[in-house]
Structures are given as C-alpha cells and as structure tokens.
Amino acid sequence: MHRLFETLRPLLVILLAFMTVAVDFTSRLLSIIGDAFFVGALVVLVWPCIKSRNDD
C-alpha cells in the first residue's frame, strides 16, 4: 500500500495543483475554501519528501 501511495504521489500533486487553479474560476467563497483544501493537501503530500531531504 505504501509503495502504491509513493507511486501515485506525483500524480496527486499535479492533480491538486491543477484543481487549485481550476477552482479559481468558480465563486469567490468556493475558491477560498477550495484553495485552502487543495494547498493543504499539497503540503501533506509534499511534506514527507521535504522532511526526508532535511534529515539527510
């Protein structure tokens, strides 16, 4: 399961980055809520990579 998540991580990062931009075409409130969610999800996905580089 962990290997599958590691394989899908780049795809999820790209998808969430795209969705952050795509949500900006909807209403302002939905944009704020969506951006907060997608940026938070990006941070959660990328954080292990950043943390492992700092541990080396």
pLDDT in tens, 6-55: 888 989 989 988 888 777 666 777 778 888 999 999 999 998 888 777 77
- pLDDT for position 2: 78
Among all chains, which residue has been given the structure tokens 């704020």?
32
Q: Residue ranges of the domains in the chain?
A: 2-55
| Residue 56 to residue 31: CA distance in whole angstroms | 37
Give pairs for 37-42: CB < 8 Å, separation 24+: 41/12, 41/16, 42/13, 42/16, 42/17
